[in-house]
């Protein structure tokens, strides 16, 4: 899926470029009129929630494309409280954007809110082309840091992290370094999403590739000597000069692919397969941190490997934006505020870290987890991930080819 996505990115960027330029004055006027009516973008002003709620009730519905199936848990209470129906679609972030892009090209305004974590593309192709608009409810603004209010409203921080079975290893994770994943004892025993089929896993690997110095230091700490590059990596970069020079992160990815990780399509299945206590030799797993909510003593016991160096995972924001020319802009605002306030409940689980500081503090106390900012996670760099999408794919395919030899 991601291969097709990368192939289509050039076309997508062309479409975005065309959309960014108004096709005649009528198009520009239509957007300007909508922004004035919706009070968004350059026309955003003081938030009159009494008026917003009244307008939302008249609109009667709000449509959301959601990266999380937990959105359906909000429908009943939201309808009862505000008289507004939530029409929700559970769609992965990358598919959301492609669907929204095609609808936009066809002149269809079907969606109001995007609940999405593919922020590199969202920022560089959609926000820049004024296809989506940021909206921060004033009721929560004081509990958010600047980077959680702009360029997007962050609802929560998600992450892909390394898990181990703590029923089998009650004294702690059997690995303490990302380089351990390349050892023979873990061959075909690392479960993870296929990075060619899921953008979040691709973004995770791209973030690790952004830290060659840290990976080189981790190699020396693990093996007691400076890193040595494999013949496969040397051949790959020699044959493909645009891949850049060999470095520790590329070497790690090459050895990881050589060790044949097992790809599983469902992040929930990955967690369950790693955490099942009824197995003698459980695998390790890279999956979504919030799957920890499924932890059950005596049944499913996959725990995060907090102490793995140089990082045990990659963090990324899950954001809320309003679609340009959304048919129900007031209901969109109301839903966004709800998802930041009482409607946050479905995501108030261990492994999902609220952007709101007041909620995050309560989470830390309730779940006995370290503060998010102290976790050994590498944050995604949206610009870097976006700018290196092509070169990453070329690198991944080249290393996979030589890893099979």
Same domain for 368 and 399, yes or no, is: no
- The chain-wide mean pLDDT, for the chain, equals 93
The whole domain housing 365 covers 2-156+316-374
* CATH number of the structural domain spanning residue 54: 3.40.190.10
Please tell me the predicted confidence (pLDDT) of residue 5. 41
Please tell me the predicted confidence (pLDDT) of residue 7. 42
Same domain for 221 and 100, yes or no, is: no
Same domain for 392 and 270, yes or no, is: yes
Tell me how far apart the alpha carbons of residues 151 and 326 are, in angstroms, rounded to a whole number: 19
User: Contact, 158 vs 316, CB < 8 A?
Assistant: yes
Each residue's pLDDT tens digit, 352-377:
999 999 999 999 999 998 899 999 99
Same domain for 246 and 299, yes or no, is: yes
Same domain for 267 and 392, yes or no, is: yes
Residue 8 in this model has a pLDDT that exceeds 60? no
Number of domains in the chain: 2
Same domain for 163 and 311, yes or no, is: yes
Same domain for 77 and 177, yes or no, is: no
Residues, the chain, total?
405
Report how far apart, in Å, the C-alpha atoms of 186 and of each of 112, 217, 256, 271, 281 are: 45, 21, 10, 17, 10
Tell me how far apart the alpha carbons of residues 337 and 355 are, in angstroms, rounded to a whole number: 13
Same domain for 221 and 271, yes or no, is: yes
Tell me how far apart the alpha carbons of residues 336 and 133 are, in angstroms, rounded to a whole number: 12
Same domain for 220 and 265, yes or no, is: yes
Quickly list DSSP for 191-232. EE--TTT-HHHHHHHHHHHT-HHHHHHHHHHHHSS-----HH
Please tell me the predicted confidence (pLDDT) of residue 12. 41
Residue 54 in this model has a pLDDT that exceeds 50? yes
Same domain for 76 and 146, yes or no, is: yes
Helix/strand/coil for 246: coil
Q: Which pLDDT band holds residue 26 (cuts at 50, 70, 90)?
A: low
In a domain, 84, yes or no: yes
pTM score above 0.85:
yes
User: Contact, 115 vs 312, CB < 8 A?
Assistant: no
| 61 φ/ψ angles, rounded to the nearest 5 degrees | -155, 155
Tell me how far apart the alpha carbons of residues 36 and 280 are, in angstroms, rounded to a whole number: 63
Q: What is the mean pLDDT of residues 317-329?
A: 98
Q: Which pLDDT band holds residue 139 (cuts at 50, 70, 90)?
A: very high
Each residue's pLDDT tens digit, 252-305:
999 999 999 999 999 999 999 999 999 999 999 999 999 999 999 999 999 999
In a domain, 381, yes or no: no
Assigned token pair, 355? 């952007």
Please tell me the predicted confidence (pLDDT) of residue 167. 98
Q: What is the mean pLDDT of residues 90-102?
A: 97
Assigned token pair, 225? 């000597």
Same domain for 41 and 175, yes or no, is: no
């Amino acid at each position: 899926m991601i291969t097709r996505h990368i192939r289509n990115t050039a076309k997508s960027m062309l479409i975005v470029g065309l959309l960014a330029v108004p096709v005649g004055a009528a198009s520009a006027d239509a957007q300007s009129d909508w922004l004035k009516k919706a009070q968004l973008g350059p026309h955003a002003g003081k938030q009159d929630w009494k008026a917003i709620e009244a307008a939302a009730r008249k609109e009667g519905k709000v449509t959301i494309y959601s990266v999380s199936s937990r959105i359906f848990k909000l429908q009943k209470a939201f309808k009862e409280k505000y008289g507004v129906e939530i029409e929700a679609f559970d769609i992965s972030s990358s598919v959301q954007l492609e669907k929204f892009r095609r609808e936009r090209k066809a002149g269809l305004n079907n969606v109001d809110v995007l609940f999405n974590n593919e922020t590199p593309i969202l920022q560089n192709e959609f926000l820049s082309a004024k296809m989506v608009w940021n909206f921060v409810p004033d009721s929560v603004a004081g509990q958010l840091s600047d980077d959680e209010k702009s360029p997007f409203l962050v609802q929560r921080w998600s992450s892909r992290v390394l898990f181990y079975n703590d029923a089998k290893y009650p004294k702690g994770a059997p690995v303490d370094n990302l380089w351990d994943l390349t050892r023979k004892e873990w061959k075909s025993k690392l479960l993870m999403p296929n990075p060619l089929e899921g953008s979040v896993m691709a973004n995770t690997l791209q973030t690790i590739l952004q830290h060659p110095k840290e990976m080189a230091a981790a190699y020396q700490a693990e093996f007691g000597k400076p890193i040595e590059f494999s013949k496969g990596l040397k051949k790959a970069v020699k044959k493909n000069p645009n891949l850049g020079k060999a470095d520790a992160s590329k070497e790690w990815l090459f050895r990881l692919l050589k060790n044949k990780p097992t790809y599983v399509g469902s992040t929930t299945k990955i967690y369950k397969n790693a955490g099942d206590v009824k197995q003698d030799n459980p695998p390790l797993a890279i999956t979504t941190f919030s799957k920890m909510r499924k932890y059950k003593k005596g049944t499913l016991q996959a725990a995060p490997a907090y102490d793995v160096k140089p990082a045990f995972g990659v963090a990324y924001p899950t954001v809320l934006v309003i679609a340009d020319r959304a048919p129900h802009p007031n209901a969109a605002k109301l839903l966004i505020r709800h998802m930041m306030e009482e409607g946050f409940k479905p995501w108030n689980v261990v492994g999902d870290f609220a952007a709101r500081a007041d909620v995050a503090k309560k989470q830390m106390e309730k779940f006995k987890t370290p503060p998010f900012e102290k976790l050994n996670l590498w944050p995604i760099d949206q610009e870097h991930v976006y700018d290196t999408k092509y070169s990453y794919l070329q690198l991944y395919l080249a290393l996979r080819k030589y890893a099979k030899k």
